[in-house]
Amino acid sequence: PPFLDEPAGAPLMLHFGTLDAAIPPATIDLHRQKQPQAQVFVYADADHAFNRDPDPPYQPDAAALAWRRTLAFFTEHLR
């Protein structure tokens, strides 16, 4: 949040888990408000670092969806 008032210098994609106690819903909403051009995704039943396999709290369904979205984002923006 301390940098949300700064303009993004590149396309921005963010992935959050609903169970991440360090990033509450109000903070996610703030990201959406301050960086409206950003793609913001929130994954139900996913915690912080939900895509870090094989460590808990790995959430394979959310991780797979986030990965597909990230690859599509790269395909669109990295040329």
On whether the CB atoms of residues 12 and 38 are closer than 8 A, the answer is yes
Residue 43: per-residue pLDDT: 98
The pTM (predicted TM-score) of the whole model is 0.91
Residue 56: per-residue pLDDT: 82
Residue 24: per-residue pLDDT: 95
pLDDT profile of the chain (79 residues), mean per 10 = 94 97 96 97 95 87 97 95
Between the alpha carbon of residue 37 and those of residues 17, 34, 72, the distances in Å are 20, 9, 16
The answer to whether the Cα torsion of 16, 2, 72, 41 is positive or negative is positive
